[in-house]
Structure 1
Amino acid sequence: MNKIYRLVWNKYLALWTVVSEIARGTTKKRNVSVSASAVLSPLLNANSGYTKSKLPPVMLAALITSIFYSSNSFAGYEAGGGSTYTNCTGTSTGSGTKSGNSVAIGTRACAGGNGNLAMGYQADSSNAPDNIAFGSNAKTGNVLSPTPDGTPLNGGGQIAIGKNAQTTTAGAIAIGNDAKTGGQNFSVAIGGYAEASGNSAVAFGRRTVASGFGGVAVGANASSSGSDSTAVGSNATASMQAATALGNQALASGRGSTAVGFGANAVSVGSVAVGVNSYAAGRVKNGEDWESGAFGSNSKADGAGAVALGNYSQALADETTATGNGSKATANYATALGTLAEATAEEAVSIGHQAKAQSLSDIAIGSDATTAVGTGGHNIAMGNKVTTGATGQNVAIGSDSTTANSRTANGGAVAIGRAQTATGDGAVAIGDPNVVNGDGAIALGKDNTAAGDSAGATAANGAVALGNSNQAIGQGSVALGNTSTAAAAGAIAFGDTAAAKGGQSVSIGSNTQAVQGGDIAIGAGAYAAAKVVNGVPESAAAFGLGARADGATALAVGNNAQATADYAGALGNAAEATALEASAVGNRAQATKDYSTAVGTNATASGLQSTALGNRSRATGDFAIAQGNNTEASGQFATSVGNFSKATAESAIAVGDLANASANDATAIGTRAAASGQNSNAIGIDSKATGNAAVALGAGAAASADNALATGVGARAAAASAVALGDSANAQATRGVALGSGATATNADDVALGAGSVTGAANPTANGTVGGVTYNYAGTTPSSVVSVGSSGNERQITNVAAGRVSESSTDAINGSQLYSTQQALGNLAESTANHLGGGSVVNPDGTVTAPSYDINGTTVSNVGDALSELDKGWN
């Protein structure tokens, strides 16, 4: 329902006013089609602002002319006209028209064309038809101009409303004091001092200027000077072809550029600036125009293809992108995405709040992620508060101040995880959090340090820490596991709470410790602590569960093995070497005195310089030696060799299985040999020397009294100083000697010579009677006997040297001596027989036959009887 069609008189304004159909007036003069107040009042107000739309000239003309054109309108009306100004000529102060259907109202107003309206002092709607000039000195032009297709226009359809408003071409509209149009056709200027000088240009607002073809300027002091340009906003300027400036003081000075927002500035071809004080300036690159774009308050895009998106964002070099409030991309090809993100080097990329990529081709992703300014470039920082250093090509990924920095420009450090720090060429820190400082140093896991000190302030090349809370301190050090420490150069610690504290030390296993330089501890609970000699550690080594090597060059090998003195060595489970240069080899072997050696399971060497070799062997005396299973050498200087052998006294020697030397200086050699007397010797299987200084030599030999000697299988020397030499020889009495197999000396001091010889009791012989003659002998009280045979087994004694032959001689006489005696006796017998005559002869048995004398017929047989007969005289 049309609400603007009724004309009423406004007595306060002293003019006719168009009002709604339901409005009421004080009087009703007449019914006409339209009047102007409601429509024209906003158009005449140059300071009323502007709108986004434009009223077509035809509509404006229809609205304004409808004030006077209706079924009751008149033609050629001259309000206050005079005869001297009819047809707009003469000097009259009235109004004038030149044709019908035109209206002129005002002093010297002129409506010269058909259907024209001129209203106001010296208003002039020219001779072209359908023009409107409304206002003091408002004027429309007579210029004929062609349409775009070349068809001439008659200059009609113009509207000039306002003091000094002017139009010059067909279809032009100028509304506002001093508003002007120019160009060819259809330009529109609305607002005080507005000027639309371009063909089809639109200037809307106080002092707006639209000077380009098809240009649009909307807003106080707006300027559109480029063809098809648009400037909307107070002091907005679009100065190049197809430029668009929207906003107070917006400036679009590049061809096809766009500036939107207060103070927005688009200064190059195709550039776009959107936002308060935004700035976009592209570049000519490789002979081509490159656009730029700035979007956001105070954003700035200054470079070929630069894009800034966000309040205070800046893209300040070729092909840069800055997205986010306060973001900056200041070098060619840089990209910054995120609030306050910065990419300040070529090809750098920063993504995230306050992320900074500051070297060539760097990438920073995450809140506060930062790559430092440096010479290396190609760094990557990804995560919250992650940074890379100024040198090398580094990678930092994670959160909470993770940092990666190379030592040289050609290096590259890597830090991945929370609060990581990697410093050095090839340094790597991965986990939560770790500290790495050194070329090639590596830390993987949680709370690890691979550096020259525990704080990570100094470098250690090649240090490696893997696991949880490990420390690799020193060049080439390695710590793996949980809370392990490699505390010096070249140290290695593997395991749970392993510690390698000295240079080149090795600690492998749970709770292991290698204390001094070069120490080695391998096995859970293993401990190695070398002694420092002249400032130089003499390395110790412990291998095995609970093994302990505590001393200069100490060595412990085996579970719970203990080498706890200088130069000690323990090899075997629970082996113990606890004294200087002691050695224990074997499970539970023990060497507990200086220079002692125990080799074998449960072997024990507890005497000074003692040696125990064999399972359960024991050398408990100083300088003792026990060799064999279950052997024992318990006396000082004792030696026991053989299974179950024993040398239990000082300097005792037992050699052989079950051999036993139980007295000082005793020697038992042979299986089950036993020497129980001091200085005794038992040599041979089952031999026994039980007397002091006794000697039993041979299998089963027995010397059972002091100084006894039994030599031979089964030989027996059972009395003091007895000697039995030969298999089964038996010396049963003191100082008896049995020499020969089976020889027996049964009485003290007897001598049995030869196999089977047996001595008997001595037979004292004081004299002897031969041929009725009694001879007294020397050596009549023998104390013992010498036997060279036995009853029925007598034997000759040969090769006997001649003995003394005297009354007192007790020497043995040989055969030659007896022969000479027999020869003498034979000669004597023969001589005697010869001298006796009487047929006396020597018998073969050596006897002399009695002579036979016939004396006086008496036969006598001896010299005495013969003499007696002779005394009787001759017959």
Structure 2
Amino acid sequence: MNKAYRSVWNESTGTWVAVQENAKGRGKSTSSSSKSKTVASILALTLSTGMAGHAFASSFYINNSNGEPMIKGDDCPGTTIGGSGTNYLAMGCNTLANGTDTIAIGTSTSATGTSAIVIGDHANASAAGAMALGGGTSATGTQSVAIGATQAGGGQMAAAKATGAQAVAIGAASIASNINSLALGSGASATTSNSVALGAGSVANSTTLTNSGYNPGSATLSAATAAGGEVSVGSTDAERRVTNVAAGAAATDAVNVSQLQSEDAKVNTNGANTAAALGGGSTYNSTTGAISAPSYALANANSIDGTSGAKTDIGTAFSTVDTALGKLNTSITNINNGQGTRYFKAAGKNDGTDDAKSGSPGSIAIGPNATSYTSGILTADAIAIGDASYASYNADTVVGAYATAGGGASTAIGYGAQTLNVAGANNQAAFGTYAAAMAASSTALGSYATTSANGAVAVGYLSSATTANSVALGANAVANSTTLGTAGFTPVGGTTISASTAAGGEVSVGKAGAERRITNVAAGLNPTDAVNVSQLTSEDAKVNNVSNNVSNVSNNVSNLSNTVNNLGNNVTSINNQVTNIVNGGGIKYFHANSTLADSTASGANSVAVGPVAVASASNAMALGNGASATAANSVALGAGSTTTANLSAAGYNPGNGTLSGTASAANGEVSVGKAGAERRVTNVAAGSAATDAVNVSQLQSEDAKVNTDGAATAAALGGGSTYNSTTGAISNPTYVVGGNTYNNVGGAITNIDGRVTNINNQVTNIVNGGGIKYFHANSTLADSVATGVNAVAIGGNASATTANSVALGTNAVANSTTLGTAG
């Protein structure tokens, strides 16, 4: 660690050394190797393994081959503090990297958490894994991220701050101060855990996340009642509208306005139905949702409660009636067999064996063996009237001999009428002799009428409704369709049906072979209304009028005069094609001005646009006057452009490597001109992928790179070699070796090799302790021996006796290809 020192290059020793912080280091390397050093190699050397941590404070320079600075750090009045951990990096004035694996870059920055990263002046990352990017940013929560420098210029703003664990703050003055919070946008603030502030100035700071969500009814919410976080797209008095929201499906999905409108319509319907059910002049206000109080006139109310006049609420009216019934209950204790009040008589055995039975509060049983009681089941408010009538569940009403009602809140009126006697099969109604409503919320009205599906209605003698929510209307009518889930018919070329494509039920007024006509049907208004014959007749007349005025629209329209001013604001289809539009005419945003021949698209799935344009190959496109696309999958773009390239030829490869990301042959071509009439393609973005087009700036960059490499090569060759950036040529060097002049490296090296060979033949012994630079020996042992073909023996008494063997070291023996076997 070198808190008060810096590293500089020592040319004489060829190493990096530590010097005092105020020492100066600047110079130009004279070796060709230093000229070719790059920024990447310097940074790699700085961060190389084996250096526990480094701090850089004062000036340092890295020169290029011309002695000009490539990387430069100026003196600063502060001090790079460094750090006490390992594998840290601190760069800049007053910079602190005081943790393991930390990085601090910039003036007065501080990275004190393990693996923390800070880049930017006066930035701070004090927690483990924290990252602060930008001047003045602060990341103090574990694994938090703060991005957004202090804004410079006219509008000064604070920098981003992420103080919560795993928090993220992006944008000037953004704040993420709680665990897993996210603030995205200038001035955005997320201060509650797991929350998101989305957009400039947005605030996510709710203090009521633990409160149960709003419940408009009494049912249990299917989603969690308390929120795990919030997403805010604005702030108080600066709310944003969230648009393009799809209709929610799951319990926790957001609801859009169309769903709210649908629910509002449902509420309005329920409100109107409730007011109608209350009667007494009650009305429903769809704007406020209020239902006005009804008014019930009880003619004899004064004799009951001492007050006369109408009752304005159900409770009072029922209470008044209940009081009257109470008085009757206490006054009438017994009616003898065959006796009764006027117009009310009962005849039975008078021995108690056929007495009516009623055992739950509010239940009534009238008639021989009438029963409004079931053992073990609450039958409050059940009513059974008639011989052997039976009401078996709460609020069931039965009127008629042998009639039965079950399931709860069900009604059976008529001889032998019945409803399904199963718990949960509520709200059934059967009216008529042997009428049977055998499913929840179903209604059978008429002798022998039957329903067997939920919500079904059968009205009429022997009518039958067996599919859910369907209606059989009329004697012998049957509603039993098995295709309700099939989408409704849409005429070919017609607009999309605005109502649901599948039916929720059916209404049948007859049966197969015995259909009925529906008369007195008003003209339909809404998309789901029925249409009457007058509307069909009007539509038929409209079709006939079109037929009379258009004599031939078989395959084309040869001439539509000069313009078509109005065809009901739009034309949905004119058979297959329009063969001609008057010169200068067109449709909105598409016009043509030419008297030349029409375009031709003869290739499969091809397109030709423009006078005399031709697209004759599959999937080809010709766009422009005289454009011609004759190659499959190709585009001729612009007047006179042609596609004539040899697509089967492999792409040009400037080297001998495999082309990256490209096929050997093209699948098509895009031509913007033709031979001798090429066009320049402008405003081309720099290519990124292997198959992207390259623009001139990228070519210039590559050319600069080639020039740099050429100049470096010439410098490395020495001998006066130069590089010509215009032609790319490198001039031959001139070497004087052994008194001879050579203009290539090979000739010079051959000369040197020959001279070395001569030296090798002449030097037979080097004095003990002597040697050549960097190679010395000090031994009195026998000389080394290398008797094998191409063998090498180095060291006192070393022996290499087999072909290609190496004996390295004192007394080493190599009698195979093994290196350095001990003697």
Q: TM-score, normalised by structure 1?
A: 0.23
| Larger relative contact order, structure 1 or 2 (CA cutoff 8 Å, min sep 6) | 2
Name the one with the larger strand percent. Answer: 1
**TM-score of the pair, normalised by structure 2:** 0.24
Larger Rg: 1
